[in-house]
Amino acid sequence: MPKTEDKSTTVLCIDDEEPGLKVRKILLESAGHRVITARSGGEGIRMFQSEPVDAVILDYWMSGMNGVAVARELKRLRPSTPIIILSAYGTLLDEALGVADLWIRKGEEDPQYLLAKIKELLESH
């Protein structure tokens, strides 16, 4: 049975910028999700392997591995886990959708839009 918004739903947020992580953590926790955060792609992959993660939200531009490389590895490890890639750049759509379930342009989405999309992805996976 698909998980919906409750305390048993764990979302992994990966971003090398602390302010973005904090904002997403507050938003997701206010909607009832358990949130774990990682400050790099490598750390995010390690957490994904060791934690019960139901969905992933990650930034495209990070030092080291970019979001598409991280998403590719996460899908290899657990193909059914929904992944959302956030980016400030609109030209990444095709590359991101090749490995992520959803691509959202940073700054253009309403916080409620992000929550609605996470809920949809969790219910469909």
Angle at 76 between CA 44 and CA 65, to 5 degrees: 40
pLDDT at position 92: 60
Domain ranges for the chain: 10-116
For residue 45, the Cα-to-chain-centroid distance in whole angstroms is: 12
Angle at 66 between CA 61 and CA 69, to 5 degrees: 150
Confidence of residue 4 (pLDDT cuts 50, 70, 90): very low
Residue with tokens 């049975």: 1
pTM of the predicted protein model: 0.88
pLDDT at position 95: 64
pLDDT in tens, 98-112: 789 988 888 766 889
What mean pLDDT comes out for the span 68-89? 92
- Kindly state which CATH superfamily the domain 10-116 is placed in: Response regulator (3.40.50.2300)
Q: How far apart are CA 90 and CA 27, in angstroms?
A: 23
Q: 33, 11, 13, 34: which is closest to 23 by C-alpha?
A: 13
